[in-house]
Amino acid sequence: MLVILAGLLLTHAALAFEPSGAAPSSSAETLLEIRSYTLKSGERDRFHELFVRESLPLLRRWNVDVVAYGPSLHDRDSWILMRAFASLEARERQEDAFYSSDDWRNGPRSTVLAAIDSYTTVVIHVDQDTLQGLRRTMSTETMRSDLQTLTRLNSDYINAVKNSDVKRFEEILADDFLCSLPDGSLINRAQFLEHTAKPYTLIDLQAHDVSVRLLGDVAIVHARTTFAMPDGAPGSGRYTDIWARRDGRWLAVAAHVTRR
> Could you read off the pLDDT of 145-160 as tens digits, one per residue?
889 889 999 999 999 9
pLDDT in tens, 23-66: 444 446 899 999 999 999 999 988 998 898 889 989 999 999 99
Residues 6+ apart with CB under 8 A from 16: 23, 24, 125
| CATH 3.10.450.50, the chain: domain bounds | 146-259
3-state secondary structure (DSSP) of residue 207: strand
CATH topology of domain 2-126: Alpha-Beta Plaits (3.30.70)
Q: Where in the chain is the domain with CATH 3.30.70.100?
A: 2-126
Triad 213, 170, 210: Cα angle to 5°: 25
Domain boundaries 146-259, corresponding CATH code: 3.10.450.50
Bridge partners (DSSP) of residue 222 are 211, 240
Report field, pTM of the whole predicted structure over 0.75: no
- Tell me which residue of 218, 197, 194, 222 sits closest to 208, measured CA to CA: 222
Q: In 98-117, which positions are buried (b, 16+ CB within 10 angstroms) versus exposed (e)?
A: beeeeebeeebbeebeebee
Q: Are 9 and 130 in contact (CB under 8 A)?
A: yes
Check pLDDT > 80 for residue 16. no
Q: What is the mean pLDDT of the chain?
A: 89
